[in-house]
Amino acid sequence: MSELVYKAPWEVELRGSAEPEPHGPLDVVVSIEAVGICGTDLGIVSGTYPAARPPVVLGHEASGTVRGVGSAVTDLRPGDRVVIDPTYSCGHCRMCTTGRPNHCLRKEGTERGVSADGAFRPFYLAERRFIHRFSEQLDFAAAALTEPLSCALTGVAQVNPRTDASAAVIGAGPMGLLYSHALATRGVVGSLVEPSRARRELAEEAIPARWRIVENLDRVVEQTPHGHVAELGIDLIVDTSGRAVEPALQRLARGGQVLAVGLGGGAIAVDPGVFADESKRIVGSIDSLDGSFAAALDLIESGRLPANAIVSHTFALSDYRQAFGELGVDLRRRRRMAPGAALKVVLKP
């Protein structure tokens, strides 16, 4: 049995992995069946996301089956199909008790796949409170979308859009698609923005009803069903790329919001006057808040999210180099390129 370990930028390797035991009364051991490769994983291995603490096992978007449980766990049994919430929160610090558990003060050193061992491995040890059961009708790869979808639901809750808001989501990768569906659950109709033709063609099969996909923000203004956009601007722009906040602000309507969820985009130059004089806002969001994980799993289980259209590739864990390559990270040549014709890539330990 092997696990995928990050050692340093561009240095990732498989090493032997032992099966953990449920030592605590509320422990659950999960046999991992599917783990999505996240943009965070790509940033870690390419050296653009410095929060990782090597050596660390990567991966945090995981599903699997219960292998064993602690003495106090009475509602799960071996064989149950589950997804794992990888974001630790203590429940007692000021961040947790004031509704911000995604910024728990004890989170440092607990982020699975970043500063604590994650799920690119055969077995995973977690507490019962971070485990969610799902039905046998749902496959493991689709269930692994629960964590990123929960992050999208959390982000949309931060901006609380009106149903008549004009909206654009920048980036038609997995997070862009998940954000479009999260907005669609609020009744919002908008556009996905993606310069890559290959990704536009793939994403076309997975976008929500009445949404469209275009190559740039200018096309959003030209083709939007909201007649006022060309004159007034776009009400809500979600940047999943980490590199488009500045151009988004330029096309934002007065009183509009930019939701920034991409990491590693670098510094931007902004005139503070636009926030006061034009009532514009930049809102950030990361990880998931209470309730969003269960809501995400429900959307996937109910079939309202086209999960199988978003998961475009699956690989065995041993083929991780090819899997990362599909997403534009060439581990052998140590370079990062534009992603190929891939959306969500899943590894199977």
Q: Considering the domain boundaries, does residue 206 fall inside one?
A: yes
**Does 272 lie in the same domain as 315?**
no
Which residues span the domain enclosing 35? 2-145+305-348
* Mean of pLDDT values over 51-63: 96
Q: What mean pLDDT is reported for the chain?
A: 94
What does the alpha-carbon distance between residue 138 and residue 143 come to, in Å, rounded to a whole number?
7
When divided into structural domains, the chain yields a total of 2
Please name which of 108, 105, 85, 113 lies closest in space to residue 28, comparing C-alpha atoms: 85
Residues 87-127 have pLDDT tens digits of: 999 999 999 999 999 999 998 889 999 999 999 999 999 99
Please give the pLDDT value at position 152: 98
Residues 10-22 have pLDDT tens digits of: 999 999 999 999 9
H/E element, 97: helix 94-97
What does the alpha-carbon distance between residue 49 and residue 266 come to, in Å, rounded to a whole number?
11
Q: Considering the domain boundaries, does residue 98 fall inside one?
A: yes
* Mean of pLDDT values over 64-75: 98
**Does 141 lie in the same domain as 45?**
yes
Percent of the chain whose pLDDT exceeds 90 = 86
**Does 170 lie in the same domain as 81?**
no
Residue 8's CATH number: 3.90.180.10
Please name which of 285, 257, 39 lies closest in space to residue 151, comparing C-alpha atoms: 285
Q: Considering the domain boundaries, does residue 56 fall inside one?
A: yes
What does the alpha-carbon distance between residue 80 and residue 205 come to, in Å, rounded to a whole number?
31
Res 266 pLDDT > 80: no
**Does 125 lie in the same domain as 14?**
yes
* Mean of pLDDT values over 250-274: 89
Q: In this structure, what token pair is assigned to residue 97?
A: 């008790």
Residues 6+ apart with CB under 8 A from 129: 26
Residues 6+ apart with CB under 8 A from 306: 205, 206
pTM above 0.75, yes or no: yes
DSSP at 19: P
Please name which of 297, 234, 287 lies closest in space to residue 263, comparing C-alpha atoms: 287
Res 26 pLDDT > 80: yes
**Does 309 lie in the same domain as 273?**
no
* Mean of pLDDT values over 30-52: 95
Kindly tell me the sign of the dihedral angle through the C-alpha atoms of 146, 151, 152, 156.
positive
Residues 168-208 have pLDDT tens digits of: 999 999 999 999 999 999 999 999 999 999 899 999 999 99
* Mean of pLDDT values over 158-170: 95
Please give the pLDDT value at position 108: 82
**Does 156 lie in the same domain as 135?**
no
Q: In this structure, what token pair is assigned to residue 260?
A: 């920034």
